[in-house]
């Protein structure tokens, strides 16, 4: 079996190449021991017994595996920003879990760390995917930004690429807005959440936020995590009135469309005049028609587990000998 792991803002999603998906909210994963998480993964995918996720008598994945025969051939994992690596590496070869620092733009909950440690302790064959950043093999002009996209966007792009198109743009619009561009099956650039469009929760630092940081009223990371369409107004989706919620999604659709249009400039300069357009994220199905109208072109919505599925497909192809994925190289130590 090949499994992919999407380390999302609000949840950890796992999928296999047959399309089965298993979701653990990040906050919940942050409270679970790695052994418990490994047990839940075994149970969700009917995996054969092995190391990790041992018996503790509470029925949460005891590792007995009675009657089960599934085996992990290879697992592809996303973790945090993925900015400490620029190639696909074995999980055991990744220093500091493949990140430069745990500090950065976003909330650190600990759920992704526990899932990473669960995979490592279970000794499942696993590879770690890099994010897109200023040391990636992308259009050199895009390297002015230190970070473009986290590793799960590579999974999203691979799912779309395996479906057929070679030239496309994906905007993942939800808590954040992150947009990635692909030409001839290679990632050429990405726009990360602190750069351009605000999501519902997080957003780039505007003039007011910069002033607040300079005045010592907040940190830069706090300003980012409170800079989204809703959080700037002290709102949450659950606490919104119907009118406030509709206004928030209308703004999200506008910003996603603007970011797609900006990425289209790069792709046109790369020779892709009419790339396929996709929208990802939990609100995708709700706002995709509006985004299509704003752009005057068809935009297709991706499913919630497509990033994890794309990671599983990467695992399968690397297992079969692929030495590059979307222009990202595979480290020479990755052999099965």
| Domain segments of the chain as ranges | 2-130+321-329, 153-304
Task: Say if residue 305 is exposed, middle or buried (CB neighbours under 10 Å; 0-12, 13-18, 19+).
Answer: buried
CATH 3.30.420 fits 2-130+321-329, yes or no: yes
Read off φ and ψ for residue 219, nearest 5 degrees: -95, 165
- 122's CB contacts (< 8 A; 6+ apart) are 38, 41, 50, 51, 52, 53
Q: Give me the phi and psi of 258, to 5 degrees please.
A: -65, -40
Place of tokens 């930004």: 145
Quote the longest CA-to-CA distance of the chain.
62
The ranges of the chain with pLDDT < 50 are: 51-68
Residue 109's pLDDT is 60
DSSP annotation of 91: G
Note the pLDDT of residue 9: 78
Quick check: helix, strand or coil at residue 295?
helix
The candidate with the shortest Cα–Cα distance to 17, out of 332, 320, 327, is 320
How much is the pLDDT for 193?
95
Residue 101's pLDDT is what?
A: 83
Q: Which pLDDT score, from 0 to 100, does residue 69 have?
A: 61
Q: Could you tell me which residues are beta bridge partners of residue 236?
A: none
Answer for the pair 166, 327: CB distance below 8 angstroms, yes or no. Answer: no
Q: Say what the pLDDT of residue 51 is.
A: 44
pLDDT of residue 102: 72
In this structure, which topology does domain 153-304 adopt according to CATH? Nucleotidyltransferase; domain 5 (3.30.420)
Residue carrying structure tokens 């590879």:
127
Output the pLDDT for position 52.
40
Same fold, 2-130+321-329 and 153-304: yes
Which two structure tokens, joined as six digits, stand for 289?
A: 């028609």
Q: Which tokens belong to 120?
A: 């490592």
- Written as six digits, the tokens of 39 are 């047990």
51-66 burial code (b ≥16 CB/10 A, e <16): ebbeeeeeebbbbebe
pLDDT of residue 104: 61
Handedness of CA 312, 318, 320, 325 (dihedral sign): positive
Question: Are the beta carbons of 195 and 172 closer than 8 angstroms?
Answer: no
């Amino acid at each position: 079996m090949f499994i992919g792991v999407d380390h999302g803002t609000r949840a950890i999603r796992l999928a296999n190449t047959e399309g089965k998906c298993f979701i653990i909210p990040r906050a919940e994963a942050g409270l679970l021991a790695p052994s418990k998480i490994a047990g839940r993964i075994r149970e969700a995918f009917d995996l054969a017994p092995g190391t990790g996720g041992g018996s503790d008598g509470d029925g949460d994945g005891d590792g007995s595996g009675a009657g089960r025969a599934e085996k992990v051939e290879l697992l592809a994992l996303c973790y945090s920003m993925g900015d400490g690596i620029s190639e696909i590496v074995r999980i055991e070869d990744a220093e500091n879990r493949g990140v430069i620092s745990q500090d950065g733009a976003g909330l650190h909950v600990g759920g992704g760390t526990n899932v990473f440690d669960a995979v490592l302790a279970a000794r499942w064959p696993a590879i770690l995917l890099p994010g897109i950043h200023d040391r990636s093999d992308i259009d050199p002009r895009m390297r002015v930004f230190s970070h473009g996209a986290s590793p799960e966007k590579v999974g999203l792009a691979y799912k779309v690429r395996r479906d057929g198109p070679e030239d496309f743009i994906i905007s993942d619009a939800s808590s954040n807005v992150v947009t990635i561009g692909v030409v001839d099956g290679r990632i050429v650039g990405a726009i990360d959440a602190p750069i351009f469009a605000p999501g519902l929760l997080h957003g780039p630092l505007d003039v007011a936020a910069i002033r607040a940081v300079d005045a010592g009223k907040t940190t830069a990371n706090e300003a980012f995590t409170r800079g989204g369409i809703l959080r700037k107004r002290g709102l949450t989706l659950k606490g919104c009135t119907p009118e406030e919620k509709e206004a928030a999604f209308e703004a999200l659709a506008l910003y996603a469309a603007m970011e797609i249009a900006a990425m289209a400039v790069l792709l046109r300069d790369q020779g892709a005049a009419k790339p396929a357009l996709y929208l990802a994220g939990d609100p995708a199905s709700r706002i995709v028609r509006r985004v299509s109208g704003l752009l005057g072109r068809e935009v297709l919505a991706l499913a919630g587990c497509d990033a994890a599925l794309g990671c599983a497909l990467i695992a399968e192809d690397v297992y079969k000998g692929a030495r590059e994925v979307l222009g990202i190289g595979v480290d020479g130590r990755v052999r099965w």
